[in-house]
Structure 1
Amino acid sequence: MTHTRTRLVAAVLTVLAAFTAAPACATVTRTPPPTPAVATPAAATPAAAATPSAAPSEESGPTGARTRLAALTVAAPHPMTGFSRDLFPHWATVSGRCDAREIVLIRDGRDVVTDDQCRVVAGVWESPYDSKLTASSEQIDIDHLVSLGSAWRAGADLWPEATRREFANDLRHHQLIAVSASSNRAKRDSGPEKWQPVEAFRCRYAIYWIDVKFDYGLSTTPEEKNALTGMLASCPQRR
């Protein structure tokens, strides 16, 4: 009898062990299919037609410019102590391989052709500063209308680097303009009290200058304010 019970217990234990070892259907692990590789698209070749719009916003117009000019703080110019163009990081990349300089060359020129590095290889430009026409980008400078030196003397010496970078690459205003190298050399970092473009561009130049100074909170001087007032007087009268 004892042997019979022993054999019975052993048989039960064997069955239980086999049942425990069997995998439950709810715990079956399925190996997920391999994730398909995603191809990285090749960089697009920059072209004038594919360049995002870099057209500046509309200026305030003569009436708005006069209002803005009256609102500018009149103050003595800050000293040039510590000034360096390197404090205004410029020609930042705007899109693809195109930097701010190349974008302006494309925007301000006609029939502009670029290579696959966004370097301008052909085009025609008319400089608004002196009305000169050129078919060579090597004879064109991208001018900061309110020069970096003028901005420094008007308060940019107190700006953080991020604001200086924005100012030096500003495509929102008429701050970056393609002009003849000779006119840019003549202007240097002068304000409108010392240098002005040809008469045909004088009105818009004053409006652009005032808009930039107003939006960046830069100051003016009595001499500069008087010069800008005279330039605005050359604007056509609107009926």
Structure 2
Amino acid sequence: MPLREAVASLPVADEDRTGYDREESFGTWTDADRDGCNTRAEVLLDEALQAPEMTGRCTLTPGTGRWYSWYDDQYVTSPRDLDVDHMVPLAEAWDSGASAWPRERRVAYANDLADPRHLVAVTKRSNRQKSDRDPAEWMPDEAVHCRYTADWATAKLRYALSADPAEKRTLTELADGCPNAPLTYTPAP
């Protein structure tokens, strides 16, 4: 579906953060394939431009890898300087419909490696600036607004999450200034 149609199809609803507790609601990083690397490490390994050295059971050695943080156009050489960002932050997902899911589905959401747009390695600085904000409140560097808009809409559609009125308005305005490229995704289980 084209970007503008995808954004237009997002249902609008007011947000509700009642009962949200990050760890209680979504758990922590898991090691789904039991290879010793949790979700955070899997994303860092997958997105490395230069693979980092590892010791023990998936301890990434600082200064041995290289990553690109597309939110702020920065190259990073230490995994300690990176966060793994949920494209749609956990609190935003909660506010947008995840609060009604069983905890097992929320933990799966927090650790979803099936779509590479869902979790992204970015600088700690950019991730902390973003925090739990939606596109009406925070955006990455202007050069990547279209990519961010498309990835945000895809994540919301993949999990059938709603958008609040300001978020929907902002996404619509952003999409209107972007190529109307098709978005493809598989609905999450």
**What's the TM-score, normalizing by structure 1?**
0.69
C-alpha displacement at 1:233, in angstroms?
Answer: 3.2
Shift of 1:94: 3.2
Deviation track 1:152-174 (CA, whole Å, cap 9, x = no partner) reads 11011111011101110011221
Q: Distance in 2 between matches of 1:138 and 1:205?
A: 24
When the two structures are aligned, how many residues end up with a matched partner?
A: 175
State the partner residue of 1:106.
45
Contact 2:7 2:175 in 1 (8 A): no
* Separation of aligned partners in 1, 2:177 and 2:29: 33
Question: Displacement, 1:237?
Answer: 6.4
Larger radius of gyration: 1
Aligned residue in 2 for 1:68: 6
State the TM-score, normalized to the length of structure 2: 0.86
1:194 aligns with 2:131: no
Q: Which has the higher contact order (CA 8 A, sep 6+)?
A: 2
Look up the match of 2:112.
170
Question: Which of 158, 175, 178 in structure 1 is aligned with 2:100?
Answer: 158
Q: Could you tell me which residue of structure 2 aligns to residue 148 of structure 1?
A: 90
Residue 225 of structure 1 deviates from its aligned partner by 1.0
Query: Where has structure 1 moved over 3 Å in runs of 4 or more?
Result: none
Counterpart residue identity of residue 133, structure 1: Y
Percent identity for Structure 1 against Structure 2? 37
Corresponding residue for residue 22 of structure 2: 85
C-alpha RMSD of matched pairs (Å): 1.5
Contact 2:47–2:121 (8 Å) recurs in 1: yes
Post-superposition shift, 1:184? 0.8
* Whole-Å separation in 2 of the counterparts to 1:117 and 1:234: 45
Q: C-alpha separation between the residues in 2 aligned to 1:224 and 1:142?
A: 22
* Residue identity matched to 2:40: R
State the SS of the aligned residue for 2:108: helix
Conserved 8 A contact 1:75-1:219: yes
Gap runs ≥5 in structure 2: 182-189
Matched, 1:206 2:146: no
